[in-house]
Structure 1
Amino acid sequence: MTPSLRHLRVFLAVLDCGTITGAARACNISQPAASQAIARLERDAGMALIHHARDASGPTDAGRAFGLRVRRALARLDASLAVVAPRLVLTATRSQLGALIAVRDAENFTFAAQRLGLSQPSVHRAVTQLESEAGRPLFQRTGKRMQPTRAAQMLADAARLCFSELEQAAAELADLAGHEAGQIVIGALPLSRSIVLPRALAEFRRLRPTMPLRILDGPYTDMLAGLRRGEIDMIVGALRAPLPVPEVVQTPLFTDDLVLVVRPGHPLRQVGAPDLDQLARYPWIVPRPGTPSRASFERYLGEFGPRRLAMIECSSLVLLRELLILSDHIGCLSRMQAGAEIALGALSLLDVSLPESARPIGLTTREDWLPTAAQAQLVEILHRVGATL
């Protein structure tokens, strides 16, 4: 479903007024136009959203669920539209806002048009119409770049979250109809990719064999930005302390700590419990700066300091394992990540304790996130899997 904002406003007016006639008056449109808007929404949804029989009135169960999502989506969008220009609440269209998001992301009309599959003049015209209604420029040309203003950034973020909520609405209607729609997007931090997510996704796939899933990896800051914009539904991995931004919620699943590992024939395997001076004679593979693992590792080094070590900063378990097997490097990684490699005989554990390296692993979601049935089911499975670790 890609309903127009105007049709969605009519639908909410029907819920508020109780009748299509009342909604038409509230929206200042004709009764036939209001009826056509509701008919279009129901045709796209594939089900009735309001009762049309004389002996029943109000929304259906599907309409009630849809209305909740639509109200959340438009409340978020309208607050930002009103800040930019109150008139935009009545005039801004979905296509104009989609063009705004694309230009904000690409900082170029041509690239934005390519992303949307539209002509460059169409995208330029949509943004120009928004600027005309707003009575202010939303972009400043800087060389070949279209630099978004602060108002454009705020409005693009709100529009993206609005569209994400509407995708959730479509997914819920599809679930009520007995089929899948949309997708679940998960930001996977290193530990989750090798431990909790494979088990949880395997169980989820047995329950929902056709539900599209998209797993993203990358720097935590990039995934956090995607989460806040509504591009990512949840992040699974090491939790941050303090909370990175106020509008997210962190939920622990289990606790893990760090260990030091080497290849089975490494010289330090003959030492027993090596001290820092002995460890410093060998090169290291360590977590990237800014991660909880790296902070724990540097606490372990204390005054010794990381600068006295020959280090490779790496978040890839595959690269770390292969380099450890081929060399005398020392690896610092999660105990749970190391467990499978140790069990297979690929790596060996050093008799070294890293105090205060325990850290919570869990979910990060938006504070006001309302999961669909499928998303809630996956969250429940993640909690169940986490309890076994």
Structure 2
Amino acid sequence: MIMHPGIKLRHLRVFLDIAARGSLTAAARAQGITQPALSRTLAELEALLQVPLFRRERRRLVLTDAGTLLRTHAAAALQMLESGVAALHPVAGTDRLRVGILPTAATRLFPRVALRFREMHPHVTLSVETGPHPHLIRLLREGGIDLMIGRMPAAADMAGLRFDHLYEDQIALVSRAGHPFWGQPVRDVLSACPVILPPQDALIRRAVDDYLQARNLAGLHPAFETAALAVGRGILAASDALWFISQGVVGDELDQGALIQWPTDAGFLTGAVGLTRRQVGPENAMLDVLTRLATDGARTYAGSRAS
């Protein structure tokens, strides 16, 4: 079957954005259009293809089998097209790598890697994009970034991508040093004090929710939701709140004694951290160098935490 001539790039971009975010509202905001307009575009694409691409599960849109197949090929096709357009307009006299950094790698691992890369290749600019996982995944698929460093994406997000494992990072429960309830049972403290949870779309949120449910705290209402170090650190310093956050985000604060880590006794509060790249893309020697440095840096970082 030949592709219907009515299918346009806007159809595919809308489709990929909805697939990445699982929400019409979030995708419409990212596209800068109204939700009704985005819904019409999706309906047009499904009509042209004559197959449903999504099904609704609770409050999320989930890809059908046909949608999963289309995303794999549409993402690869758009990436190749973006690469071709970029090759027509090279930037003279400069090189640039665009890297997306999730919070777990932003404060300790990546700064060390970035400085080492700068020593080796001072003519290359590292353009760093931060933000939540859905935002960076979308940029990676669309060619807005060349590499993402952080926690392993969910299986549903891995079509057209590859993940290289670096190390395991624990989800820590932390508070300010000198917390008045230190030493008391964690379940009681969580029930009595304000709690900061990762955002709903954070990769670690599900593991935290599972932890709370296993301790009959599924109904706990968080006071705040954030994965931002500056925000979380500021709230902890001025209150008796506790924060579930990737250990890599608050490693320096723990080492310096500004924050303390509470025992959780939960082996599943951990997850893989690594490099996520597109499976199909142009050769990039500088990106390969950065990947090797990140691998070496992660080995040193993981060793220092174990010692």
TM-score (norm 2): 0.70
CA distance in 2, matches of 1:340, 1:210: 30
Instruction: Give the aligned partner of residue 101 of structure 2.
Output: 188
- What is the deviation of 1:160? 5.8
1:296 lines up with 2:207 in the alignment: yes
Q: CA separation of 1:295/1:159 partners in 2, compared to 1, >3 Å: closer, same or farther?
A: closer
Quote the residue 1:162 is aligned against.
Answer: 81
In the alignment, the residues of structure 1 paired with residue 162 and residue 186 of structure 2 have an alpha-carbon distance, to the nearest angstrom, of: 39
Q: Is the Cα–Cα contact under 8 Å of residues 238 and 360 in structure 1 kept in the other structure?
A: yes
For 1:366, give the aligned amino acid. Answer: R
1:234 partner letter: L
- Report the counterpart of residue 284 of structure 1 in structure 2: 195
Q: Once the 2 structures are TM-superposed, how far is the Cα of residue 385 of structure 1 from its aligned partner?
A: 0.7
Matches of 2:149 and 2:252 in 1, distance apart?
A: 20
- Could you report, residue by residue, the CA deviation over 1:168-203 in whole angstroms, capped at 9, with x for unpaired residues? 6877x98xxxx643x211121111211221111111
Letter in 1 for 2:176: R
Aligned ranges for residues 1-389 of structure 1 at < 5 Å?
Answer: 83-85=3-5, 147=41, 150=45, 158=77, 161-165=80-84, 167=86, 180-181=94-95, 183-269=96-182, 271=183, 274-301=185-212, 302-389=214-301
Is the Cα contact below 8 Å between 1:259 and 1:353 reproduced in 2? no
Bigger share in helix: 1
SS of residue in 1 equivalent to 2:200: coil
Question: Which residue identity lines up with residue 377 of structure 1 in the other structure?
Answer: V
Q: Alpha carbons of 1:347 and 1:360: their partners in 2 closer, same or farther (altered >3 Å)?
A: same
Task: Tell me which moved more, 378-387 or 282-291.
Answer: 282-291
Contact 2:134 2:201 in 1 (8 A): no
Change (3 A) 1:325 1:169: same
Deviations 1:46-104, CA, capped at 9 Å, x for gaps: xxxxxxxxxxxxxxxxxxxxxxxxxxxxxxxxxxxx7355xxxxxxxxxxx9xx67xx7
Partner in structure 1 of residue 66 of structure 2: none
Structure of greater relative contact order (alpha carbons < 8 Å, 6+ residues apart)? 2
**Structure 1 residue 156: deviation in Å?**
9.4
Mapped partners of 1:201, 1:356: distance in 2: 30
| Secondary structure at 1:322 match in 2 | helix
In proportion to residue count, which structure has more strand? Answer: 2
- In structure 1, stretches of 5+ residues that fail to align are 1-81, 86-96, 106-141
CA apart distance, 1:337: 2.5
TM-align CA RMSD = 3.6
Aligned to 1:185, the other structure's residue is in SS state strand
**CA contact 1:274–1:351 (8 Å) conserved in 2:** no
In 2: Cα distance, 1:257 partner to 1:159 partner: 35
1:219 Cα deviation from its structure 2 partner: 2.5
Give, as a single letter, the amino acid of the residue that structure 1 aligns with 2:271.
R
1:165 to partner: Cα distance = 4.3
Q: Distance in 2 between matches of 1:222 and 1:372?
A: 23
1 CA distance for matches of 2:191 and 2:276? 36
Partners of 2:207 and 2:74 in 1: how far apart?
Answer: 37
Q: Distance in 2 between matches of 1:310 and 1:223?
A: 25
* 1:370 shift after superposition: 4.0
For residues 166 and 89 of structure 2, the distance between their equivalents in structure 1, rounded to whole angstroms, comes to 29
- Tell me if the contact between 1:251 and 1:362 (Cα under 8 Å) persists in the aligned partners: yes
Whole-Å Cα distance in 2 between the matches of residues 246 and 261 of structure 1? 35
Does structure 1 conserve the Cα–Cα contact (< 8 Å) formed by 2:173 and 2:242?
A: yes
Deviations 1:313-352 (A, max 9, x none): 1011110001100001001122232220022232122233
Query: Structure 1 residues 226, 339: closer, same or farther in 2, change over 3 A?
Result: closer
Corresponding letter in the other structure for 2:170: D
- SS of the residue aligned with 2:139? helix
Deviation of 1:161 after TM superposition, in Å, equals 3.5
Q: Closer, same or farther in 2 for the Cα pair 1:168/1:236, shift >3 Å?
A: farther
Provide closer, same or farther for how the CA distance between residues 347 and 275 of structure 1 changes in structure 2, counting only shifts above 3 A.
closer
- The alpha-carbon deviation at position 146 of structure 1 amounts to 9.6
Aligned length: 254
Distance 1:156 1:356 in 2: 35
